[in-house]
């Protein structure tokens, strides 16, 4: 079945954008009012500010704080339409995109901005035990795993089983791994220290494993050393030159060490979306497709690739990094190229990536920043990181809420998004005896190793310590 994506004006060239990430939305915004009809196709109905996903995963922010509906973002763009769907193939000769629902969306120009997925270096089975962090679903899944591990540890006696629940391993020492390690260390050592009764903050263990000789390989060496020292001050164990050989349900194997852990998080590598497969071309080892200087596909000037799916070198010969600023610059450049062609003008100059610097935060009041011509570290870098991330968030509401949350967390150490959601354990209504009993029964189904509650005299003793005397019958 062949249909149009929307009831559009046939006289306007139709630009189809695959993906509503940083690059796709930037291209859409720049094409507004340029004499084209735009259709954005994404399998999610929202745009996510990925640099802050780790804060959702560590209960610092709620999902809605860093996401916004795509339709809400483009609602003022008269000729921009949104289609919820999953791409399965692209017919480059017939010029249409096929969706999983069977619909075919025709295009005059195509912008592929479908981002990246987790890469496990050929060991895809590791993904079951070591999830990565790319989407809201990934973040809430990791949050659930981290919080459930703490809840499980609270029910266990001292020993290897409890130690395993309190051990968190992060594979990969890039910005995501470093930021996650610092956030988990703060969550397990500070935020929950006053709320659990049998586990103490000193019992938790956070291990960051990096296969290379230093953390944050894209940063100068002195900033990498600063990040490592800051993590170690938070209690994080840093394993450099530690190649992972196996990941299973019980933990990870390094070349010379076994680490038993209930929670393993993957941040070591990414693979581009199947764009090369859709287009019938060859990709590099990470699945990226080589593009022309104007970011078009070789031999197909009406098709453009941007962001994590594009392989292009910058002026010094190094590849353009797969980060949000690069994707936004690519999106803006492609929009200018398309607008020039539609207007009959000559195309702009080849794409030139401008490196505005790298930022990474390492917990409370700790961060590193590299601008090439200057470097920052410590509190000043952390303040700059906070301002930059709030500024680039989509929507005034999100900026306001995230800023307020960070301010509250700074003074109280409280993480208000510590919610365990998405469990298939049956509905529990009410807080009376039946509801509590049902909740306990369901929790034991999720955590089968958890012992039953302590005897009643011990419960009464705890109540007396808190000032609550049991009433006589």
102, HSE (Cβ side, Cα atoms, 13 Å): 1
DSSP 409: H
| Residue 200 confidence class, pLDDT cut points 50, 70, 90 | confident
Residues marked as catalytic: 179
- 106 to each of 16, 109, 308, 387, how far by Cα in Å? 8, 9, 24, 41
Short-list 68, 90, 69, 78, CA closest to 28? 78
451: left (phi over 0), alpha (psi -120 to 50) or beta: beta
Contact 294, 315 (CB under 8 A): no
Dihedrals phi, psi of 264, to nearest 5 degrees: -120, 130
432: pLDDT strictly greater than 60: no
287 pLDDT above the threshold of 70: yes
What is the chain's mean pLDDT, rounded?
86
Reported as a single tens digit per residue, the pLDDT across 111-131 is 999 999 889 988 999 999 999
% the chain with pLDDT above 70: 87
The predicted pLDDT at position 373 comes to 85
Q: CB under 8 Å, gap of 24 or more: what pairs does 390-397 form?
A: 392/49, 392/324, 393/49, 393/52, 393/66, 394/25, 394/47, 394/49, 394/68, 394/73, 395/68, 395/72, 395/73
In this structure, what token pair is assigned to residue 171?
A: 């594979």
- Residue 254: predicted pLDDT: 95
422 near 443, Cβ under 8 Å? Answer: no
Is the C-alpha dihedral spanning 382, 383, 384, 388 positive or negative? positive
Q: What is the DSSP string of 266-321?
A: E-S-EEE-THHHHHT----TTS-EEB-TTSEETTEEEEEE-GGGEE-B-TTSSBPP
Indicate the pLDDT class of residue 455, thresholds 50, 70 and 90.
very low
Q: What is the mean pLDDT of residues 152-173?
A: 95
pLDDT at 457: 38
* The predicted structure's pLDDT at residue 172: 95
pLDDT over 80 (residue 249): yes
Q: Is the pLDDT of residue 451 over 90?
A: no
> Is the per-residue pLDDT at 412 higher than 80?
no
Average pLDDT over residues 267-272: 89
> Higher confidence at residue 1 or residue 40?
40
Q: What does the radius of gyration of the chain's CA atoms come to, in whole angstroms?
A: 25
For residue range 82-91, what is the model confidence (pLDDT) as tens digits? 999 999 999 9
């Amino acid at each position: 079945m062949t249909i149009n994506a929307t009831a559009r004006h046939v006289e306007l060239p139709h630009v189809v954008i695959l993906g509503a990430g940083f690059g796709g939305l930037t291209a859409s915004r720049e094409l507004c009012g340029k004499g084209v009809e735009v259709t954005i196709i994404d399998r999610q109905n929202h745009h996510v500010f990925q640099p802050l996903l780790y804060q959702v995963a560590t209960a610092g922010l709620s999902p809605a704080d860093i996401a916004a509906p795509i339709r809400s973002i483009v609602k003022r763009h008269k000729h921009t339409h949104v289609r919820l769907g999953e791409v399965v193939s692209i017919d480059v000769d017939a010029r249409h995109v096929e969706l999983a629902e069977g619909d075919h969306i025709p295009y005059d120009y195509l912008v592929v901005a479908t981002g990246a997925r987790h890469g496990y270096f050929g060991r895809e089975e590791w993904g079951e035990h070591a999830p990565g962090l790319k989407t809201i679903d990934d973040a809430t899944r990791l949050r659930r795993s981290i919080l459930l591990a703490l809840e499980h540890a609270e029910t266990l006696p001292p020993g290897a089983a409890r130690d395993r629940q309190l051990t968190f391993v992060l594979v990969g020492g890039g910005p995501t791994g470093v930021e996650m390690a610092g956030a988990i260390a703060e969550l397990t050592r500070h935020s929950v220290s006053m709320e659990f009764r049998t586990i103490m903050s000193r019992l938790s263990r956070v291990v960051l494993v990096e296969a290379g000789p230093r953390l944050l390989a894209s940063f100068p060496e002195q900033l990498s050393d600063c990040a490592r020292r800051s993590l170690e001050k938070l209690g994080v164990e840093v394993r450099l030159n530690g190649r992972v050989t196996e990941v299973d349900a019980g933990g990870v194997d390094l070349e010379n060490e076994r680490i038993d852990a209930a929670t393993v998080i993957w941040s070591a590598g990414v693979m581009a979306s199947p764009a090369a497969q859709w287009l019938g071309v060859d990709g590099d080892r990470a699945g990226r497709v080589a593009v022309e200087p104007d970011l078009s596909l070789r031999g197909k000037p009406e098709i453009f690739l941007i962001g994590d799916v594009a392989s292009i070198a910058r002026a010094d010969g190094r590849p353009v990094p797969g980060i949000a600023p690069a994707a936004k610059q690519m999106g803006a450049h492609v929009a200018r190229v398309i607008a020039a062609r539609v207007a009959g003008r000559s195309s702009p100059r080849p794409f030139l990536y401008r490196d505005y610097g790298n930022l990474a935060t390492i917990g409370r009041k700790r961060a590193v920043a590299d601008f090439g011509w200057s470097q920052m570290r410590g509190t000043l870098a952390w303040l700059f990181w906070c301002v930059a991330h709030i500024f680039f968030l989509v929507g005034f509401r999100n900026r306001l809420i995230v800023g307020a949350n960070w301010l509250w967390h700074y003074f109280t150490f409280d993480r208000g998004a510590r919610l365990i959601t998405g469990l298939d354990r049956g509905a529990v209504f009410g807080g009376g005896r039946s509801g509590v009993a049902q909740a306990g029964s369901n929790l034991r189904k999720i955590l089968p190793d958890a012992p039953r509650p302590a005897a009643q005299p011990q419960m009464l003793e705890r109540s007396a310590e808190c000032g609550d005397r049991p009433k006589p019958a």
